[in-house]
Structure 1
Amino acid sequence: MVVSMTGFGRGRIETEQVAVTVEIKTVNHRFCEFNIRIPNQLAKIETHLKKTLTTYIKRGRVEVHVTLEGQATTKRGIQIDWDLLDQYVRYINEIKDRYGLSGEVNLHELIGRPDLILIEEKDEENEEIETLVLQAAVQATEGVVQMRLQEGKALEADVKANILHIKEHSQVVRNLAQLVVEQYRERLSKKMVEFVGGQVDETRILTEVALFADKADINEELTRLESHIEQFLKILLLQEPIGRKLEFLIQEMNREINTIGSKANDSKIAMEVVEMKSFLEKVKEQVQNIE
């Protein structure tokens, strides 16, 4: 089964206190790589989150963005610098005594000084929020998987069509290869007649033709190419990640096609080789996005 590595999904869960949103985007990558952006208070569940996602996504670059909204995500508190406050009050009283000044320490002025009294907001750990994040992540992942499956169907159709085109051209090459040796024999005989004036050495012709046939024989390459094509089509049906297997077969097919082109020594076969390489290049590009 063909699964694309491109997908997007969004999960959102809301309660009276908090709203959790998880967005997941996947693109093609040689391995399975995660980039998770998550609030500090939830850092401890990052490993659990990654483990959950890998049950659905086996390959690709996975970008995860987790956001929290609501008052339940933070805890407010007052932070007082008691040492500094003691110094303020002590020095104010010393100044009054030294210079004979009157008046009391103004509490409102002290409270209003941010260097003395500070209201802090701290992220607090909350198991309920952590559970909501994991639930939203699964929801988002289901969306990603659905998109990857849909794109995979389109990829499979295109890849299969291009592979079958290569198969068709390989059959044309096989038919042409049967004629190449005979055509070479005819050309050689004609040249020898022109050169020696009618006295043709059949033994010499047969020897030259045999050498040419051995050098230009591409039956083994065609057989291996057709075998790779059949394996490729079978792998498309497997219920597992298949991208790397397909990439390996593409390398092998490319090797066989290049060898056919270099050995055939025929213009018509050379044209068929160009067509096969063109279709194989399209397959290569498509397979790069298959999980």
Structure 2
Amino acid sequence: MVRSMTGFGRGVTQTEHFQLTVEVRSVNHRFLEISSRFPKEWMEAELAAKKLIQSKVSRGKLDVSVFVNENHQHEQTMVINWPLVNAYKAARKELAAEVPLKEEWDMTELLKLEGALTVETAQLPHEEVIEAVRDALTEALNNLIAMREREGAVLYEVMCGFKQELVEQIDCIRAVSDDAVVKYREKLLLRIKEVTESTSVDERVLTEVAVFAEKIDIAEELDRLNSHLKQLDETLAEDISIGRKLDFLLQEIHRETNTIGSKNQSSEAFVAVVQMKSVLEKMREQVQNIE
């Protein structure tokens, strides 16, 4: 099955303490690259999320965003750093011996003591966070994959259309290549007749024709092209990541096409080779967006 690497998916889950929304966007990339934005205290959940993504997606640059909407405010606690407060107290007492200071501290002065008082907020339940991230992300990934498959279906039709164009051009090349040796033999005999006025075919003519036939023979290249196109059909039907394999196959098809072009002896084959190269370039552009 062909999948595009471009897509978007969103997943939402509700827990006792919060509502979690996960959004995943993906674009083309040679490999799998994941960029995520989780609350800093959710590191373990972020690692679990990346493992889940890796199990479902093979290629693409993915951007994962997490939005948390808490159902109510969590209980907050004031924590006193007593060793630090006592250190401040000792320092103040020492200063008071030289500098006039009030004997009693007010709350404003205490709050200005850096690190002496901190506010702690109760953390969301760990297991609840992990499960919520997994559920919301699974929904987001399923939606993302469904979108990539819809776009992939369009790409599949485009690739099949291009493949058919290649088949037509190959058939054209095969047809004219069968006549190339005959035409060369006739042309050679005509030139000999013009020079010698002889209609007999001596050994030198037969040798020249044989050498020419071997030089322009493209039967092997055409057979390999047919084999590559068969592999192309099989690959497009595979239910795995196929983008890199398709890219390799197109390189091989392009190589055989170049060889045919270098051996070509007819204007019809030249036009067909040029057309094949144009189609292959379009196919390679499309393959860049296939997972």
- Per-residue deviation, residues 125-161 of structure 1 (Å, max 9, x unmatched): 6221221111110111011111110010010010110
In structure 2, how many angstroms separate the alpha carbons of the residues matched to 1:96 and 1:210?
114
Q: Any gaps of 5 or more consecutive residues in structure 1?
A: none
Aligned to 1:225: 225
- SS of the residue corresponding to residue 26 of structure 1 reads strand
Aligned to 2:171: 171
Aligned to 1:58: 58
In structure 1, how many angstroms separate the alpha carbons of the residues matched to 2:274 and 2:223?
18
1:10 aligns to 2:31 (yes or no): no
Q: CA deviation at 1:56?
A: 2.1
1:110 aligns to 2:105 (yes or no): no
- Distance of aligned partners of 1:96 and 1:215 in 2 relative to their CA distance in 1, 3 Å threshold: closer
Aligned to 2:262: 262
In structure 2, how many angstroms separate the alpha carbons of the residues matched to 1:272 and 1:105?
97
Aligned to 1:210: 210
2:287 aligned partner, one-letter code: V
Aligned to 1:289: 289
Equivalent pairs, count = 289
Scaled by the length of structure 2, what TM-score is found? 0.87
Task: Map 1:25-40 to 2 at 5 A.
Answer: 25-40=25-40
- Distance of aligned partners of 1:75 and 1:170 in 2 relative to their CA distance in 1, 3 Å threshold: farther
Q: CA deviation at 1:123?
A: 7.5
In structure 1, how many angstroms separate the alpha carbons of the residues matched to 2:8 and 2:176?
48
Aligned to 1:22: 22
1:136 aligns to 2:142 (yes or no): no
- Per-residue deviation, residues 37-63 of structure 1 (Å, max 9, x unmatched): 322222113332223223321222332
Contact 2:16 2:71 in 1 (8 A): no
Q: CA deviation at 1:262?
A: 0.7
Q: Any gaps of 5 or more consecutive residues in structure 2?
A: none
- SS of the residue corresponding to residue 251 of structure 1 reads helix
In structure 2, how many angstroms separate the alpha carbons of the residues matched to 1:102 and 1:175?
106
In structure 1, how many angstroms separate the alpha carbons of the residues matched to 2:117 and 2:28?
48
Q: CA deviation at 1:248?
A: 2.2
Contact 1:18 1:73 in 2 (8 A): no
Greater CA drift, 17-26 or 74-83: 74-83
Q: CA deviation at 1:90?
A: 5.5
Greater CA drift, 26-35 or 213-222: 26-35
- SS of the residue corresponding to residue 56 of structure 2 reads coil
- SS of the residue corresponding to residue 238 of structure 1 reads coil
In structure 2, how many angstroms separate the alpha carbons of the residues matched to 1:96 and 1:249?
84
In structure 2, how many angstroms separate the alpha carbons of the residues matched to 1:56 and 1:95?
65
- Distance of aligned partners of 1:177 and 1:108 in 2 relative to their CA distance in 1, 3 Å threshold: same
In structure 2, how many angstroms separate the alpha carbons of the residues matched to 1:145 and 1:268?
44
- Distance of aligned partners of 1:98 and 1:251 in 2 relative to their CA distance in 1, 3 Å threshold: closer
In structure 1, how many angstroms separate the alpha carbons of the residues matched to 2:95 and 2:66?
54
- Distance of aligned partners of 1:154 and 1:123 in 2 relative to their CA distance in 1, 3 Å threshold: farther
Aligned to 1:248: 248
**% of aligned pairs identical?**
38
In structure 2, how many angstroms separate the alpha carbons of the residues matched to 1:77 and 1:132?
26
- Distance of aligned partners of 1:104 and 1:230 in 2 relative to their CA distance in 1, 3 Å threshold: same
Contact 2:79 2:120 in 1 (8 A): no
Greater CA drift, 185-194 or 212-221: 185-194
Q: CA deviation at 1:206?
A: 2.2
Aligned to 1:180: 180
Contact 2:111 2:117 in 1 (8 A): no
- Distance of aligned partners of 1:163 and 1:71 in 2 relative to their CA distance in 1, 3 Å threshold: same
Q: CA deviation at 1:28?
A: 2.6
Task: Map 1:34-113 to 2 at 5 A.
Answer: 34-70=34-70, 76-86=76-86, 89=89, 105-113=104-112
- Distance of aligned partners of 1:106 and 1:30 in 2 relative to their CA distance in 1, 3 Å threshold: closer
Contact 1:41 1:123 in 2 (8 A): no
Greater CA drift, 44-53 or 160-169: 44-53
Contact 1:11 1:22 in 2 (8 A): yes
- SS of the residue corresponding to residue 246 of structure 1 reads helix
Greater CA drift, 236-245 or 177-186: 236-245
